[in-house]
Amino acid sequence: MLMLVFALPEEARALRRRIRRGVFAGQEVSLSYVGIGGAAIDQVERAVELVKPQLIISSGFAGATRSLLEPGDFVLSTNYTAPDIRQILDRQKFVDASGSFVQVKEVASMSDKWSLNHSARSMAVDMESEIIADLCRRKQISLVTARMISDAIDETIPGIFVGKKVAGLKDLSDAAVFAARMLRLTGKLADRLEALVGTLGSTAGTMKPG
């Protein structure tokens, strides 16, 4: 059994439509949602205790903190992925880039991302990876963390998506453009995860927690 963990159901919108009777990419899977910033980690832990997955795939979207990354790139976290899984993915070139992820408490602004690029030498930023990794360490479950870039290092997520008030027509226009992007990227994320699950599913039982 594999478990796929996302922050929100919307991130798995396209993927959910591909699951048939609990099977995705030829593997038995379970979905769980940790909430923004890991607010629902207790629910994920209860799901883990119930289904007892051999492997957790932590996925969804992340902001780039590396200048060459673009929206739609599928990236692997080297600090939140078991070493044996990294070796498999490196050999088969499943991802567009790999590097360290940084978890933050709030949605990262453009200046935040540039700062993390210089201070942490990171590749991507999100709000849940460390919390999920801590759960996997405690439960001794193998983990792979692979996310899709939603916003480049020189972009800021429109304020309406982070709870800010709309100040004018430009805010609405920017939000519409970003929403259309995310709609397209959820399908692309499902494609990449389908390939990933198909490859890792058959070896989940032999992987070591890490």
Q: Model's pTM, two decimal places?
A: 0.91
Per-residue exposure over 17-48, b if at least 16 CB sit within 10 Å of its own CB, e if not: eeeeeeebbebebbbbbbbebbebbeebeebb
Q: Is 145 helix (H, G, I), strand (E, B) or coil?
A: strand
Q: Which helix (H) or strand (E) holds 162?
A: none
* Residue 44 near residue 37, CB atoms below 8 Å: no
| pLDDT one-digit tens code per residue, 133-152 | 999 999 999 999 999 999 99
Buried b / exposed e across 145-168, counting CB within 10 Å, b at 16+?
bbbbbbbbbebbbbebeeeeeeee
All structural domains of the chain:
2-155+188-206 (3.40.50.1580)
What are the pLDDT digits (tens) for 80-132? 999 998 888 888 788 999 999 999 998 899 999 999 998 888 999 999 999 99
